[in-house]
């Protein structure tokens, strides 16, 4: 029964990606670990392939609807990929475990990263939920500042080990001034690039059960088509709220689990 729920979860991953343009990696690792019994390291690697492949199919569909900004996607992806790579290669291994002791309490490396994950999600959700009282002014931006900001986004993505849709979408709306629908479509392309390049690093270090992985991913791909179909019946304001509340709820659940369980 639990395994069956895991495969239902594969559909849900795709649906969430299709509707919100992010959140897939937030669901994927817990489903693989808690419902299907995979080791966390294996689950993280599989998550990159599942989310990356599913996002690729969503990107193709959004291209047909003119909901992807390819130039913006590449501008965002290159600095963020560099940030992700450097963080996973140098920063994360350098974090001590445990991070520090305080009396009889200690903060482990894993707990620190999960708490950081939850706090970043929470701040992103609050930022998205804020109503804009005045229309955005199309002011020119310093390209070097934007590149640096995207590099920092990549560092955050690398630290928390997620696809980063919940970070990328607010950045696309703020820095590139895209509408929520176009930000979602463009986010899927960026997630595809980040996730699949990240997965290439795992192929040589772990044994891949391709039969399981392709089967699970196929269900997730079906889910993203369902999500994309549902998306067109939702207005932009509602889409923004769905995405924001989803990220908010997930952040609270992670904080509760890490602090009180």
User: pLDDT, tens digit, for every residue of 132-167?
Assistant: 444 444 555 667 787 887 888 788 877 776 667 777
Rounded to whole angstroms, the Cα distance separating 60 from 137 reads 30
Rounded to whole angstroms, the Cα distance separating 44 from 42 reads 5
Number of residues in the chain: 261
| SS3 state of residue 22 | coil
Average pLDDT over residues 4-23: 83
Average pLDDT over residues 184-197: 86
Average pLDDT over residues 67-84: 88
Helix/strand number for the chain, H first, E second: 11, 2
Separation in Å, CA 19 to CA 114, 123, 225: 25, 21, 9
Q: How many domains does the chain have?
A: 1
End-to-end CA distance of the chain: 24
Residue 161 is given by DSSP the state T
Its domain, for residue 18, covers 2-260
Pairing of strands 105-107, 100-102: antiparallel
Report pLDDT digits (tens) over 94-119.
888 888 777 677 888 777 877 887 78
The pTM of the full predicted model, rounded to 2 decimals, is 0.74
Averaged pLDDT of the chain: 81
Is 87 within 8 Å of 154 (Cβ atoms)?
A: yes
Burial class (CB within 10 angstroms; exposed 0-12, middle 13-18, buried 19+) of 218: middle
Is 27 within 8 Å of 52 (Cβ atoms)?
A: no
More confident residue, 210 or 257: 210
Rounded to whole angstroms, the Cα distance separating 69 from 10 reads 27
The pLDDT confidence band at residue 11, using thresholds 50, 70 and 90, is very high
């Amino acid at each position: 029964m639990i395994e069956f729920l895991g495969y239902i979860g594969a559909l849900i991953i795709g649906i969430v990606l299709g509707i919100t343009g992010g959140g897939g990696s937030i669901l994927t690792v817990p489903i693989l670990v808690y419902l299907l019994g995979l080791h966390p390291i294996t689950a993280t690697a599989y998550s990159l392939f599942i989310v990356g492949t599913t996002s690729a199919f969503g990107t193709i569909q959004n291209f047909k609807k003119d909901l992807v900004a390819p130039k913006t996607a590449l501008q965002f992806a290159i600095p963020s990929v560099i940030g992700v790579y450097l963080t996973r290669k140098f920063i994360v291994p350098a974090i001590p475990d445990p991070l520090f002791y305080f009396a009889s309490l200690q903060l482990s490396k894993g707990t620190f990263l999960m708490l950081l994950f939850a706090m970043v999600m929470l701040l992103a959700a609050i930022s998205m939920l804020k109503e804009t009282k005045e229309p955005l002014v199309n002011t020119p931006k310093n390209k070097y500042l934007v590149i640096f900001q995207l590099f920092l986004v990549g560092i955050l993505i690398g630290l928390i080990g997620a696809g980063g849709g919940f970070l990328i979408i607010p950045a696309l709306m703020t820095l590139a001034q895209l509408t929520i629908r176009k930000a979602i479509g463009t986010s899927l392309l960026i997630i595809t690039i980040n996730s699949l390049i990240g997965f290439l690093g795992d192929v040589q270090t772990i044994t891949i059960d391709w039969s399981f992985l392709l089967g699970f991913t196929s269900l997730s791909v079906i889910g993203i088509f369902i999500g994309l179909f549902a998306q067109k019946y939702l207005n932009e304001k509602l889409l923004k709220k769905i995405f924001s509340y989803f990220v908010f709820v997930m952040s609270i659940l992670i904080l509760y689990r890490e602090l009180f369980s």
